[in-house]
Structure 1
Amino acid sequence: MSTPARFQPEADSLDPTDWQAFRELGHRMVDDMADFMAGLRERPVWQPMPAELRAELRQPLPQAPAELAEVYADFQRLVQPYVVGNVHPRFLGWVQGAGNPVGVLAELLAATMNANLGGRDHAPIEVERQVIRWAAEMLGFPLDASGVLVTGTSLANLIAVLVARTRALGRAVRQDGLAGRPLVAYTSTEAHNCVSRAMDMAGFGTAALRLIPCDDDHRMRLDALAEALAADRAAGLQPFLLVGSAGTVDTGAIDPLAGLARVAREQGLWFHVDAAFGALAMLSPEQRPLLAGLDEADSVAFDFHKWAQVPYDAGCIVVRDAAAHAAAFATVPAYLRREARGLAAGQPWPTDFGPDLSRGFRALKVWMTIRTYGADKLGEVIARNCALARRLAARVDAEPELRRVAPVALNVVCFRFEAAGGDLDRFNADLVADLQESGIAVPSTTTIRGQLAVRVALVNHRTRAEDLDLLVDALLAAGRRRAGAA
């Protein structure tokens, strides 16, 4: 076996003196990553990183150069075996997409271009604009809606809160602040914590967010919302924002979006939907009717890196009224002067719609994923995940030792092992940890109506029925061992 050529940088740059050596190692990395993806089922879903390897990673700042092949070998030994595991078909614990092979190559291309998508006139921004048009089309929004790609729905929800704030108080709020004006917002008790954090970061404080109770299907109650609105107006407060959920984090429930849209219109509220993974269900004809009313929202936040299977990170916000969106963010300091021609043309720029000026080429992996697989294929993945969730729910219902604790709205199944005595919350938490540490499967836990539950979220395009059978069989076996040893 021949010794690979060494990677040596030029004396006056970081480029290699030998591009062929760089090419050979790059080809090897691509081959190794293809082998990694092809062999996922033979690997543990997750395994803890040994303490001695953690210690080995904690090195002082390197001063001298190292051979690239050696650095890559350290990656293979110290990093690759101990990742979170969401690419694996039996990673079922959290709503995290699995990525896809095309997205891997897109990341290589984007890194090579190294484009800054804050602004100016170049093709990568046109790619992002096209992605936003596709997103608007998927949501049933007008094609001239604005939008921007961000790290994830947490940041997208913050953007929505700031747009709603500016719409309620005018652009002067960006200079004067809230000045004690008593604005309040509304969402459900099942909403993701990032909505509360967005209110915090936007300067309202979490106390300005009303958490509205839910019904037995974990959907926001319209009657309770009406009562809260009336009480706040009677107290002299100013309601300005209503946030619905399309796919709640605990159970995958979808709020009554059409009803929320009607309330928002009647009350003069900005209607935003946190649809982190649920928005992509619009691509599935079977699931689309569950999202009736999503097309009436003023803004929608979601993640391409969840059900669209785009590699992390690729969040998105789409806003119906582009002028209202830009009013919350646009600013033109001298060094960002816009021109009618040249590289400084092409306005509006993405930085006019969000907080970032330095932005990577996230759009390429989204564009290449959608172009390569097509919306219909992605919709089939979503429909299959939901069908698998229903199948898992039926299996849980058929097992005497298990009890399902929530309805299955989309792709999330919550249940408990109850054939044991003592503290069942602690028992089920230990059971989940047993499965995670075994490497067989990764479910997670959540709390449903005060009880800790095993949570299975189906998002991965690689997951099959046999993977769920392995999960349930392993969970039952571990539960019986624990119950027998108690």
Structure 2
Amino acid sequence: MTALHSPFEEAAEVTMVHLTGAAAAELTLDPPNWSEQRQLAHRMLDDIFDHLETLRDQPAWQPVPAHVRDSLREPLPRLPQGEERAYQDFLHNVLPYASGNRHPRAWGWVRGNGTPFAMLAEMLAAGMNTHAAGGQQAATYVEEQTIAWLAQVMEMPVGSSGIFVSGGTMANLLGLAVARHAKAGFDVREEGLQGTHQALVVYGSTETHMWAQKSLEFLGLGRRAFRRVPVSENFQIDTEAFQQQVRCDRAAGFRPIAVIANAGTVNTGAIDDILTLKKICEEEDLWLHVDGAFGALLKFSPEYRHLVAGIELADSLAFDLHKWMYLPFEVGCLLVRDAKAHADAFAAQASYLEKANRGMLANGLPFSDRGIELSRGFKALKVWMSLKAYGTETHGQLIAQNVEQAAHLEMLIRKHHKLDLLAPRVMNVVCFRYRPQDHMGVEEMNKINREIVLRLQESGEFVVSGTLLRDDYALRVANTNHRSRMEDFAALVEAVVRHGDDLCSGASPASM
């Protein structure tokens, strides 16, 4: 009778052929031959460095072909295919079809590019595979020091608290959670939001990123708790309308707790009048939270840090380091002025995580006490190593370079008779459109410009995104790219006009 074997037993048999002696009795995922694994690792590094070195020669983006999509829909691999097969599938079916953010001509949405050195730091962090909730380990001290450095860059007080998270949405969510606990007027952690307390409300401009709505839903406050304040012609929050809304809400029985100030809106890069908002918050006893997703990083630049004056006065400040510090995904940061308020919003105790004066849990788990995650990767390492390798001055120079490149693009647009600037350029975001004829209607121009965005992407020439500014569709360039050159922006203008002219002379916008 033939014995039946489970898939696990079959996999074990395949693996154990490499093992000898007593070691053959048990499995491990360490390589049976470390020398061969090392050779594969060196080949992987060589391949990815070749890929990064030749980015300019590759398409800015390309869609995933049908045959590749089909190959990625393979059945669950129950038996080992081998490391070489897995790597070859990555090389052919994954690496060429990325999201179009690393290329020198990629400026869509707001996404950084990564750096080779930070990629290596990420590899080292994965090799350490440390659990970074705190405890007596080097990772704890690295993260605390890096947070202190960033607080210094942002000109926040010594002793400000902070934590690294996956990105701006999570950093902003945690900042609002601290605000909710600090300003609710009752113990929201103990009582929740199901009692008879006043309804809590939060304010932000109509240009505030969608994270605010999602966060208020998640925090149990609901969409109705978000008061969308109108903006000026420059897309800044109307501070008088904001204060008037606060007073109306108080009179109606609501409890205002916080305002979200934008240090760089996602649409146009507008920066709210944070100094005035801080003054209103002091008068009205409100928490000032600043969404500095990418704009806060202007603090690295001596030439342009004045644009975000006032963010250092925030009660909490969120920003992304995988945007304008050019690091690989994922790493965002939350800074909180009042360290006690930060811990009060999240700290929790459990018998299996008892604090001690000695041993691995000496000094507790500070990062678990500053957010909702217990298990955490070592995000701080790539930030720490990049700051040490390049310093704040280099990062500041790159940010200034991006602003100056955006200013150059703005100048080219203003000079061209077929292009319109659709919003004031404050820093690195430029919104514009192709407009061949004065008599062309808004709807027709919107269709043409939407098609231009798609053609730029699908041709592999450029990655730009689009947005609606009031009723006008805009091509949107958000330059957080350390690989871009001035010549790339001149080429963009030429390509936009070329595609626009082709559309006007050929394909009907109605068919797009």
Q: Which TM-score band (shorter chain)?
A: over 0.9
Aligned residues of 2:402 and 2:480 also touching (Cα < 8 A) = yes
RMSD: 1.5
Aligned to 2:133: 118
> What SS class does the counterpart of residue 260 from structure 2 fall into?
strand
Alignment of 1:188-337 (within 5 A): 188-337=205-354
1:197–1:415: structure 2 CA closer, same or farther, 3 Å change rule? same
User: Which residue, out of 347, 353, 363, partners 2:380?
Assistant: 363
- What is the CA distance between 1:183 and its match in structure 2? 0.9
Aligned counterpart, 2:496:
475
Identity %: 43
Once the two structures are superposed, what CA deviation does each residue of 1:230-288 show, in whole Å capped at 9, x if it has no partner?
11111111111011000100000100011111111111001000000011100001111
Query: Contact conserved, 2:108 with 2:476, CA < 8 A, in 1?
Result: yes
1:297 CA drift (Å): 0.5
- Map 1:76-155 → 2, pairs under 5 A: 76-155=91-170
Match for 2:178: what amino acid?
V
* Correspondence for 1:41: 56
8 Å Cα contact 1:88-1:462 kept in structure 2:
yes
Name the residue aligned to 2:476.
Answer: 455
Distance (whole Å) between structure 1 residues aligned to residue 353 and residue 415 of structure 2:
63
Unaligned runs of 5+ in 1: 1-5
Counterpart Cα distance in 2 of 1:416 and 1:169: 45
Counterpart residue identity of residue 466, structure 1 = E
Distance across 1 between alignment mates of 2:467 and 2:455: 16
One-letter code aligned to 1:124: A
Give the conservation status (yes or no) of the 8 Å contact 2:278–2:288: yes
What are the ranges of 5 or more consecutive residues in structure 2 without an aligned counterpart?
A: 1-14
Q: Quote the offset at 1:143 in angstroms.
A: 2.2
Cα distance in 2, alignment partners of residues 135 and 334 from structure 1 = 33
Alpha carbons 1:7, 1:17 under 8 Å: kept = no
What is the distance in 2 between the residues matched to 1:457 and 1:142? 30
Aligned to 2:463: 442
Deviations 1:108-159 (A, max 9, x none): 1001000111232111111111111011101111221111111111011111
1:388 aligns with 2:409: no
Question: In 1, distance between residues paired with 2:222 and 2:128?
Answer: 41
- Residues 9, 16 of structure 1: 8 Å contact kept: no
Alignment-mate amino acid for residue 459 of structure 1: T
SS of structure 2 residue aligned to 1:396:
helix
Q: Deviations over 1:434-482 (max 9, x none)?
A: 0100001011100112211100110010011111112111111111101
Give runs of ≥4 in structure 1 deviating > 6 Å.
Answer: 6-9
What is the CA–CA distance in structure 2 between the aligned matches of 1:338 and 1:13, rounded to whole Å? 33
Separation in 2 of the partners of 1:52 and 1:101? Answer: 30
How many Å separate the matches in 2 of 1:324 and 1:313? 26
Say if 1:7 and 1:68, in contact at 8 Å, map to a contact too. Answer: no
State the 1:348 CA deviation. Answer: 4.9
TM-score (norm 1): 0.97
Contact 1:246–1:279, Cα closer than 8 Å, also in 2: yes
**Match in the other structure for 2:10:** none
Q: Give how far 1:21 is off.
A: 0.4
Kindly indicate whether the alpha-carbon contact (under 8 Å) linking 2:466 and 2:475 is maintained by their aligned counterparts in 1: yes
Q: Which SS does the other structure have where 1:328 is aligned?
A: helix
> What does residue 69 of structure 2 align with?
54
Task: Establish whether residue 15 from structure 1 lines up as the match of residue 15 from structure 2.
Answer: no
* 1:7 and 1:18 in contact (8 A); partners too: no
- Corresponding residue pairs, total: 481
1:173 Cα deviation (Å)? 1.1
Counterparts of 1:347 and 1:306, CA distance in 2: 31
- Asked if structure 2 preserves the Cα contact closer than 8 Å seen for 1:284 and 1:383, the reply is yes
- 1:329 maps to a residue whose letter is F
**Which one-letter code corresponds to 1:412 in the other structure?**
V
State the alpha-carbon separation in 1 of the partners of residues 185 and 355 from structure 2: 24
Report how far residue 172 of structure 1 moved: 2.5
| TM-score under structure 2 length normalisation | 0.92
The one-letter amino acid paired with 2:93 is L
- Structure 1 residues 208, 34: CA separation in 2 closer, same or farther (over 3 Å shift)? same
Match of 1:341 in 2: 358
Letter of the structure 2 residue corresponding to residue 258 of structure 1? L
Deviation at 1:346, TM superposition (A): 2.1
Aligned: 1:185 with 2:206: no
Q: 1:463 is matched by which residue type in structure 2?
A: S
**Map of 1:3 onto structure 2:** none
Q: C-alpha distance in 2, partners of 1:9/1:360?
A: 32
Aligned-partner Cα distance in 1 for 2:436–2:430:
19
Q: Which amino acid aligns with 1:267?
A: E
Structure 2 residue identity aligned to 1:190? E
1:414 to 401, 421, 431: 431
Q: Distance in 2 between matches of 1:164 and 1:41?
A: 45
> Which whole-Å CA distance do the structure 2 matches of 1:171 and 1:110 have between them?
41
Matched position secondary structure for 1:81: coil
Residue 9 of structure 1: CA displacement? 7.1
Contact 1:272 1:300 in 2 (8 A): yes
Q: Answer whether contact 2:456 2:463 (CA < 8 A) is retained.
A: yes
Q: Cα offset for 1:226? A: 1.4
The residue identity in structure 2 corresponding to 1:210 is R
